[in-house]
Structure 1
């Protein structure tokens, strides 16, 4: 089979066939009567072997070794190919990431492109002070590049740099919130916590919606951060999370204060007081938990909480009774001062 026919049947260009011949990879072994080189069936088989292996990214040198060295085994070479491919994909993904950040900035001039590239380099720096300066500079932009800042804050371990990035994110676009919201489902706990901390500082209706959804997150740290960030805005949905924090003793003082604010804003005073009273009455509730629950009642106004505190002044545990009595007296003094009969 002559080179033209081989090219038509295999789809390999005549130029590539000549190249294979020139480097000694696939050379036609037959000759026609007129002296033209002719590909034998064995040559065609070798040609298909070459094309198959080339599709895996083998170099010409590797191809020759694979086809001509009797003791050659593919395992080592395949491992090298895997490593090379992973490196190439990583480079391509990094390039794609940078191009997307530039695109997000909607540049109209090359100076805009250079500014975003400069910001990327600053945020990629090993020097924390340079990263912080870059974040602060980005905060001064009319609309900081959201995706870039969000990805940076999710990876940032330095608290000062993270704070500057969160500040910059407060003025960024919706893309930042989408990146952060997606990170709440990350398998990495630290990434989830950085995400919720950043969302908490954005302070928009859209951010509040994401935080409300986060109240059911499987990570307690995410749920609790979301509840505290929402505060009195969170309504009844934050109550179970805040009560759980008091019971667990995690940020219980702040949780109790927030619980009181939620109870008053959303007319949940009796409901919250009743929930705390039920937990106090359970025989399996440990003393330290009961003590935190009693202290939380100090933040809940109204007669329901007052009745529970009064009953607890006679609790068998003298320490708990004393705490309840002190809170009850403090509430009574405050009512007298404010002229509140509740």
Structure 2
């Protein structure tokens, strides 16, 4: 790619019009070159529009993982939550398991909800065979966290790990916190019945917890 083309692409990625930024990201992904990687990652950290961020991620996946993965891992240490979240999201799309050691407990329990959710999704994509129980144990510490969308994301991540999550579910169901117990019961219902909705599973779990609290059955 010539210097004028590169300059034009860089300017496009910073344009005030989201549609221009989108087209620029698409152009960069269509004609990938290593010199674009840093700029794409930089824009991921600050881009306000979801659909543009998604195109930036796509553009990064079009580049060599050998180039992008180390730089994305570096972003996981950023103080900017969006930088961490988008780097995680992109790593999940690249799917290179060399990134697995960078998916730390700190990220899986990050105080920022979007970072944590991205870490959960990325972890279940990258987790090496045999390490699913350890991942499930860390994810289990997040039962009851956040609003419904957050809890649904956690359930989906756990269910993706399969039957290895059962000990974690049982431990959470035996705990004292009714919110945690409800979430764990709902997750097991969804594991057993993939066609059930999260809304239905949560409402059913609430009834089970309420009956238990009244000393009837659980």
Partner Cα separation in structure 2 for residue 152 and residue 236 of structure 1: 35
Q: Report the secondary structure of 1:132's partner residue.
A: helix
Deviation of 1:184 (Å): 1.4
Taking the aligned partners of 1:299 and 1:115, their CA distance within structure 2 comes to 50
Which runs of 4 or more aligned residues in structure 1 lie more than 6 Å from their structure 2 counterparts after TM superposition? none
Q: How many residues align?
A: 193
- Displacement of 1:313 in angstroms is 8.9
Task: State yes or no: 1:133 paired with 2:23.
Answer: yes
Partner of 1:172: 63
1:160 aligns with 2:57: no
1:284-304 CA-to-partner distances (Å, cap 9, x unmatched) read 31x232222211222456xxx
**Correspondence 1:244 to 2:141:** yes
2:196 is aligned to none
2:94 corresponds to which of 190, 202, 208: 202
Over aligned residue pairs, what C-alpha RMSD do you find? 3.1
- Gap regions ≥5 residues in structure 1: 1-110, 302-308, 325-342
- Structure 2: segments with no counterpart, 5+ residues: 193-204
Contact 2:85–2:119 under 8 Å retained in 1? no
Alpha carbons of structure 1 residues 190 and 277: separation in structure 2 relative to 1, 3 Å? same
How many angstroms does 1:237 deviate by? 3.4
- Residue number among 242, 252, 256 corresponding to 2:155 in the alignment: 256
The match for 1:219 among 103, 110, 134 is: 110
Shift of 1:314: 10
Q: CA deviation at 1:183?
A: 1.7
| TM-score, length-scaled by structure 2 | 0.73
Larger radius of gyration: 1
Alpha-carbon distance in structure 2 between the residues aligned to 1:203 and 1:151: 20
- Normalising to structure 1: TM-score of the pair? 0.49
